[in-house]
């Protein structure tokens, strides 16, 4: 049900009539939340999710030249997505000759996965 908080009356509730039972505080502190949010944000795109899916299931490092044909996007756009994943610490790359090879960093998704589970 859509409820706009702005519509909620700003009046105090009468003394002795608590609106609700008390809640717990978040277990995760701001710093940990920021780390996990950065990872989640990087995964917040279908192409990046599929990129991570491919890289995770491939044991080794995957050449960019093999990734481009998998997606119906330009190489610069793919590069942009890989950069977002690298900036979030999810993937890294190394150069072999003419090509860049990408791989998922060990434990990159562990903290978020553990929190979600």
Please report, as residue ranges, which positions from 49 to 88 form the binding site for a copy of itself (by CB under 8 A).
Answer: 49-51, 53-54, 57-58, 60, 62-67, 70, 75-76, 78-79, 82, 86
Report d(CA 82, CA 89) in Å as an integer: 11
3-state secondary structure of 102: strand
| Near a copy of itself by CB under 8 A: residue from 48, 84, 90, 91 | 48
Q: Sort residue 111 into left (φ over 0), alpha (ψ -120 to 50) or beta.
A: alpha
- Using CB under 8 A as the binding rule, whether residue 41 contacts a copy of itself is answered as yes
Report d(CA 92, CA 102) in Å as an integer: 6
- Using CB under 8 A as the binding rule, whether residue 13 contacts a copy of itself is answered as yes
Six token digits for residue 28: 């995760």
| Near a copy of itself by CB under 8 A: residue from 15, 16, 95, 106 | 95
- Using CB under 8 A as the binding rule, whether residue 37 contacts a copy of itself is answered as yes
């Amino acid at each position: 049900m859509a409820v706009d908080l702005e519509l909620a009356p700003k009046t105090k509730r009468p003394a002795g009539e608590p609106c609700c039972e008390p809640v717990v505080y978040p277990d995760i502190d701001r710093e940990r939340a920021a780390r996990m949010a950065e990872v989640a944000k990087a995964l917040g795109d279908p192409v990046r999710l599929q990129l991570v899916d491919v890289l995770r299931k491939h044991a080794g490092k995957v050449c960019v030249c093999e990734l481009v044909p998998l997606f119906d996007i330009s190489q610069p756009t793919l590069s942009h997505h890989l950069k977002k994943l690298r900036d979030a610490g999810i993937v890294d790359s190394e150069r072999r000759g003419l090509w860049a090879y990408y791989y998922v960093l060990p434990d990159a998704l562990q903290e978020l996965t553990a929190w979600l589970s």
